[in-house]
Amino acid sequence: MSEIKTKPTQVSVKEYLASISDEARRTDAEQLVALISKVTGQPPVMWGTSIVGFGSYHYKYASGREGDSMRIGLSARKEHAVIYGVIFYDFGTKLLEKLGKYTQGKGCLYIKKLADVDLATLEQMIANAWSQKHPSEA
């Protein structure tokens, strides 16, 4: 049974945010951390070296694979802020038409600039996701 490699660490969230060299990306990441913290009521915790996570859940698949993952996560990548856990498969996609400019994967949102999205819609998406169980949650 393989294990997920991204786990909570003792890395400082403040240091991670401070290490983002692009000022606009750093400011967006700081605002997103504050927004997600406000909505979830959870402190930010580094998962690995580049993902800020909020909360956690235990999952178990029919294959027997199981582990723990963050409920909602954020990574400030070079091109985008990546938000994990706000959408997954068909969940959380109803508000996307109101969000603004973004791209998406199966389980994450990619936002180039926070100014390109409607923050009230993003806040509602975070709140909706936080109130739901992930489909793989045990």
Q: What number of other Cβ atoms are within 10 A of residue 2's Cβ? A: 7
Alpha-helical segments (H) within the chain: 13-18, 23-40, 96-99, 119-130
**Ordered domains of the chain (ranges, CATH):** 13-130 (3.90.1150.200)
**Along the chain (138 residues), what's the average pLDDT of each consecutive run of 10 residues?**
66 96 96 98 95 90 85 94 86 89 91 97 94 70
Rounded CA gap, 28 and 30, in Å? 5
pTM: 0.89
Q: Could you identify the residue written with the tokens 């390109």?
A: 116
What is the residue type of 37?
S
